[in-house]
Amino acid sequence: MARMLNTLLPGRSLVAALLVCGVLSVCSVARAQNVNKHSQNVADFQARAAEYVKMHKKARSGLSPEKSNGSAEAISGLEQQLAERIRALRPNAKHGSVFTASISSELRRLEKISSQGSSGKHIKTSLARSEPVQVPIRVNGTYPRSAPLQSTPPTLLQNLPQLPKELEYRLVGNRLVLRDIEANLIVDYVDHFTR
């Protein structure tokens, strides 16, 4: 490139060298901005998840575990109480409050990367074998007890941002759901996550 520019601009090798350096610098900056954008989206998501967990812990702090034999009724009662307290702490929660548009795009990008190559074949096979889940999804809603909790393929989970222990990813149809495990609450979801 420098030789070509030097041919076009004889005696101006310094100009050519500066031009080449400028082009390379612009390319490097553009690449770094893309990487930083992806990292910022992941960091933003993790900050939002951590903020939710803080609120979850605040809601959980006033509850005392039922002294029982761990019966389904006692567990369900505690789950419902926790869910109600969380709803009270985030009454205006809506779709996109945790999974913003840029975070959703980033997670779709990560899913696309996961579904390429041999890992993609494993993900598609895993999803094809599992029972498809089609249930209504609503932020702050309860994950329906009658619906199976379809697990997310491990090869896909490896590419998604790690979650605090209070949260998990679930696939519902072509949506990625963020679920509060203990409260059985739908925190948020990404539409059109899988194809």
Per-residue pLDDT tens digits for 74-124: 777 889 999 999 999 999 999 999 999 999 999 999 988 887 766 666 665
Task: Give the pLDDT score at 159.
Answer: 87
Tell me, yes or no, whether 92 lies in a domain: yes
Tell me, yes or no, whether 12 lies in a domain: no
Start-to-end CA span in the chain (Å):
42
Instruction: Give burial (CB, 10 Å; 0-12/13-18/19+) of 124.
Output: middle
Tell me, yes or no, whether 96 lies in a domain: yes
Tell me, yes or no, whether 48 lies in a domain: yes
Tell me, yes or no, whether 74 lies in a domain: yes
User: By the 8 A CB rule, do 161 and 42 touch?
Assistant: yes
- Residue 105: give the domain boundaries: 34-190
Q: Over 70: is that where the pLDDT of 132 sits? A: no
SS3 of the chain: the string is CHHHHHHHCCCCHHHHHHHHHHHHHHHHHHHHHHHHHHHHHHHHHHHHHHHHHHHHHHHHHCCCCCCCCCCHHHHHHHHHHHHHHHHHHCCCCCCCCCCCHHHHHHHHHHHHHHCCHHHHHHHHHHHHHCCCCCCCCCCCCECCCCCCCCCCCHHHHCCCCCCCCCEEEEEECCEEEEEECCCCEEEEEECCCCC
Q: How many domains is the chain partitioned into structurally?
A: 1
pLDDT digit string, tens, across residues 138-191: 999 998 887 777 667 777 788 899 999 999 998 888 889 999 999 999 999 999
Distance CA 111, CA 126 (A): 14
Q: Over 80: is that where the pLDDT of 50 sits? A: yes
Tell me, yes or no, whether 14 lies in a domain: no
List the 185-190 sheet strands across, edge first. 167-172, 175-180, 185-190
Tell me, yes or no, whether 75 lies in a domain: yes
Tell me, yes or no, whether 26 lies in a domain: no
